[in-house]
Structure 1
Amino acid sequence: MSPITTPSSRRLATLAALLVSTSLWAADTAPTITGPTKVQGRPGYDQPNQYLVSRTVKLADNMEPVIPNTEQNQQARAKLAALEKKFGKKPNIVVFLLDDVGYMDMGFNGGGDAVGNATPDIDRIANEGLILTSAYSQPSCSPTRATIMTGQNQAHHGLQSPPMYGQPGGLEGLTTVAKLLSDQGYTTQAIGKWHMGDNEGSLPQNVGFDHFRGFLSVSDMYTEWRDPQYNPEVALSPSRYEYVEKLPFNKADVEASKGGKIRDLYTIDTNTIKDLDQKWLSFGVDFINRQKDAKKPFFLYYGTRGCHFDNYPNDYYLGRSAARTSYSDCIVEMNDVFAKLVATLDQTGQLENTVIFFGSDNGPEAEVPPHGRTAFRGAKGSTWEGGVRGPSFVYWKGMIQPRKSDGLFDFADLFNTSLSLAGKPGADVAKLVPAKTYIDGIDQTSFWLADNGVSNRRSIFYFWNDEISAVRVDEFKFMMIAQAANAITQSGDNGGFSGAALTSQASIMFNLYTNPQEDQTSGIRHIPMGVPLQAEYLRYREVLKKYPPHTQISLK
């Protein structure tokens, strides 16, 4: 398979002919319908957020085009200026990232009590903020985390799959939001799961964070080879156990300060892992308390251990969920962790000047039960909606109008939006990174802050390794590469890691409003919508030619 998916020559020829008469689509300009064939609109059909026909502009060559929403941009800037005048500093920024949690695990998306793990505090806070029903991660954890840090999708930053057991690769040489926020005068703190490379140049204290407390890898790498319940062939074999134990990856809860060395606190095993999230919570609460009277704003990147497999519930939370599974017990704990952090911000008088983004790094890990739930097809590791569309919201007391929005949001947008809040909006971001760096994120400050704000993003691109798997505009998703769940095992599997990647013969299209399960292709019936989707796909193929994929770690 080529580095960039190429449609068949017949499909390209057909597309070229269609594009001659629809060149305005490719130019990101709404077509004008004139003469007797002009359609009279029907009530309800012209929605304000139909991005397919919205004009976009390029702020810089190495940035994605944005939809200019001038009035809401002005409103957002006015609100930020008033807040800065009140507090005397830029706003604090918190990114709270769960691990392997599904769209339907949270009550605000219809889960919670309904699936046996109540999330009352998360739901309450979500309903006081902006619930993002179409927020997109990358298909798995490390790619998503690197996307948040760099504002790039996995094709560009190169972490296309999670590094395992000391595998080289990471953030080294990339420009991170932590580094840029530090340059803007922010205190930068990372807590919890890292998993973006444990080589020296990729460690958190060397990519912009003032301090780090957490672990460098992922839950199962600390426990699965120690637990005879899951891997008796290793755990009960002294020679195999010793082999894994000697692999070059850090096995401890650690801390480090900017420019310093990693300091091991204690070894993580099947016993000590139970209390990790509580220990990290205590550290997080202490950090927030210390910022109460600080003159500098802070950026807190908080990655939980929960609820990646295998879940070993803290003694207090064992059996606390109605479902009484280790996964659901973990969700109940995560509700309390998030609630405690928000309460601490409130108690210290910092909540009004703090924006909080809540999300999950990918969909549920459906190959290892018990696991999370999703309303969509597929799961972690796939580019079906279930793999990349999780529970997300943004909360800012007094600054964000409570509402739900299906406006498109990519986790890469956190990069641009955070820098915009720090005083570097729009095209200013392009000046902060090397000219060869393509920024896939978009500044969504006005989407968040304006009353009834709409997304500034026209499209979402999905990636399988370094290849475009699909593109979404409005409710339509155009898919070129899909994971076939039953290609390896007869019964099939909902996860993406055990499936096979298949290239469609004539790219398929789904209406995600009428068919969120993605099991009824509508491409043949809706060719007028398919043409601009293909044009958007071809536009980004040209981006990948000028700013080529940078593969560090891949499943290929």
Structure 2
Amino acid sequence: MRLFLISIVAAGLACSQALAQGIPGPASALSRAEARAANRQPAIPRAGQEQAAVEKLAAFEARVGQKPNILIFIVDDMGYGDPGAFGGGEMIGAATPEMDALAAEGLKLTSTYAQYTCTPTRASVYTGRLPARTGLIRPILAGDQISVNPWEGELTVAGLLSDAGYHTMLVGKWHIGETEGMRPHDVGFDEFYGFYKAQKEYTQAYDERRFPDLVLDQDKFDRYQSIGSNNDLIYGLADGTTETIETITSPAQMAEGDTRLKDYTVQRIRALAEGGQPFYISHSFMKVHADNFPSEAFKGASASKFPYRDNMVEVDSHIGEIVDALEEVGALDNTFIFVTSDNGPQMDSWPDSGYTPFRGAKGTTWEGGVRVPGIAYWRGMIAPGRVSDGLFDLMDLFDTSLALAGVDANGLPTDRYWDGVDQSSFLLVDDGESRREHVYNWLGATLAAMRMREYKAHLHVALAQEKFLWIDMATVVPTGLAPWLFNLYVDPKEEYPVGHRMNAWTASLGAEMKAHAATFRLFPPKDLGL
């Protein structure tokens, strides 16, 4: 196990012994969370709220005659401040009326957290487990030699819901493995229509303006192509069927990728509505990950006229069309919708990048890297106009989806640790409060920070050596004698630690991080060799 993890786990040995004995209760006086089991993330008990949600779901099922549909929109690299509802929109030259309407008519979550980059977030959404546990701490790239298939033995929300009678489908970006045994339709999704990689990985070999040393050098180009990375739009089924729909050989093709994805989701919603089977769809946009090439239909569609902003307008429009399709087939009232991003904006590609009001960006565990928009919408089930700063980790979509579908999470295997929290009562009850007390921010295999209530403590920080270059020109350093501790209500941009000068909870936050680290001693993580 890696050196830092060894040291912090050793520091939490007493906590691991308590966990092993099944001792409930918080790790510190600050915590309201209670342990449900040694292998599950402690959560804040809200008995009345949870019972109210159970009753509300039961009434829905009795009225409709089936479980709810679940539709999750994941925009790639959208910044916290990109949608108008979160401070962007028209103010930054890219109006987002569709997302803004969902936020106004549903629940706007102002403290939603992703992982520091795309692959870890997507893995956590589908497995309900931290990437440090599954080993999916970064993209598995063509040419990588991994020692273990990370998906072997893992359960996905798609597979569990498929077993419960749902049709499960991923449309769009996967980015969690492209070899057999690691594809969406290999790990629980009944159906896949999309791309294995990020947008840039399809276009860089054909964009001579940005990558002339690759595109115009035949030797380098041939060597790059010999890596064998898949460059196709793929259709796959759980029975093993895998077909190439189109091979991407130009930026112009990729520019139209999200339109094709939107058309497919709309088509499948119309077909599935006729069958009466509930569905779980993860619609995962390729945009607005760099490099951005606007669709012909959206060139200049934003007030900004920059490609990223045009693509934000496109993504927003596609969300609206898909929601309209649900309305047209009479399924909107039966569908839980969640809109989010897989991490903060990739500022290294500025100005082909998004906006966040916070410090840092994609690739860091500063708020700018991990705090993302979160919108929960379900007409008639989630009261309109709600806004909450309660903590919501995107991993919680795993447990929450199971709860909405009536799948008992208590039946999950006990030989591994589950990090998600069922937040169905938080979302569905009119005055619901979050059941999550902690958000853990990992940089790969290193526990870097933790948020608890309004406090955030950093053990490791990324320091950019040049403006915007949070990936390409940054160092990661330990914080020294004490964690850098911020009160995010006073200092949301994490500009000046309060620590020992102005905070009484430093020791308590340390104890909570030790308790978290101790779970890795009881349930050792996978090491894929990444």
Shorter-chain TM-score: what band?
over 0.9
Post-superposition offset of 1:29: 8.3
Q: TM-score, normalised by structure 1?
A: 0.89
Partner of 1:297: 278
Residue of structure 2 aligned with 1:418, choices 401, 408, 412: 401
Residue of structure 1 aligned with 2:319, choices 333, 338, 361: 338
Residue of structure 2 aligned with 1:472, choices 421, 442, 451: 451
1:70 paired with 2:47, answer yes
For the residues of structure 2 that align with 1:3 and 1:548, how far apart are their CA atoms? 14
1:516 paired with 2:492, answer yes
Partner of 1:134: 111
Describe the superposition over 1:315-355 as per-residue Cα deviations: whole angstroms up to 9, x where unpaired: 11011111110000000001100000111111111111110
For the residues of structure 2 that align with 1:439 and 1:497, how far apart are their CA atoms? 33
1:374 paired with 2:353, answer no
Q: Tell me whether 83-92 or 541-550 shows the greater mean CA deviation.
A: 541-550
Partner of 2:18: none
Describe the superposition over 1:179-211 as per-residue Cα deviations: whole angstroms up to 9, x where unpaired: 111111111111011111012111111111111
Q: 1:109 and 1:553, CA in 2 relative to 1: closer, same or farther beyond 3 A?
A: farther
1:238 paired with 2:239, answer no
Partner of 1:397: 379
Describe the superposition over 1:268-317 as per-residue Cα deviations: whole angstroms up to 9, x where unpaired: 13121111111111110011001213232100011001101111100110
Partner of 2:517: 541
| CA-based RMSD | 2.1
Post-superposition offset of 1:437: 1.7
Partner of 1:409: 392
Q: TM-score, normalised by structure 2?
A: 0.93
Q: 1:347 and 1:437, CA in 2 relative to 1: closer, same or farther beyond 3 A?
A: same
Identity between Structure 1 and Structure 2 (%): 38
* Structure 1 unpaired stretches of 5+: 17-25, 32-51
> Does the 8 Å CA contact 1:401/1:452 hold for their aligned counterparts?
no
For the residues of structure 2 that align with 1:93 and 1:381, how far apart are their CA atoms? 29
> Does the 8 Å CA contact 2:106/2:378 hold for their aligned counterparts?
yes
Specify the SS of the correspondent of 2:3.
coil
Post-superposition offset of 1:409: 0.7
> Does the 8 Å CA contact 1:180/1:432 hold for their aligned counterparts?
no
For the residues of structure 1 that align with 2:6 and 2:496, how far apart are their CA atoms? 23
For the residues of structure 1 that align with 2:325 and 2:275, how far apart are their CA atoms? 15
For the residues of structure 1 that align with 2:468 and 2:56, how far apart are their CA atoms? 48
Partner of 1:41: none
* Number of residues of Structure 1 aligned to a counterpart in Structure 2: 514
For the residues of structure 2 that align with 1:459 and 1:194, how far apart are their CA atoms? 27
1:454 paired with 2:433, answer yes
For the residues of structure 1 that align with 2:287 and 2:9, how far apart are their CA atoms? 43
> Does the 8 Å CA contact 2:357/2:368 hold for their aligned counterparts?
yes
> Does the 8 Å CA contact 1:226/1:241 hold for their aligned counterparts?
no
> Does the 8 Å CA contact 1:170/1:198 hold for their aligned counterparts?
no
Post-superposition offset of 1:59: 2.1
Post-superposition offset of 1:230: 1.2
> Does the 8 Å CA contact 1:98/1:303 hold for their aligned counterparts?
yes
For the residues of structure 1 that align with 2:220 and 2:27, how far apart are their CA atoms? 61
1:354 paired with 2:329, answer no
> Does the 8 Å CA contact 1:378/1:496 hold for their aligned counterparts?
no
For the residues of structure 2 that align with 1:531 and 1:406, how far apart are their CA atoms? 24
Residue of structure 2 aligned with 1:153, choices 104, 109, 130: 130
Partner of 1:317: 298
Post-superposition offset of 1:223: 0.8
Post-superposition offset of 1:175: 1.0
* Structure 2 unpaired stretches of 5+: 15-23
Q: Which amino acid aligns with 2:426?
A: F
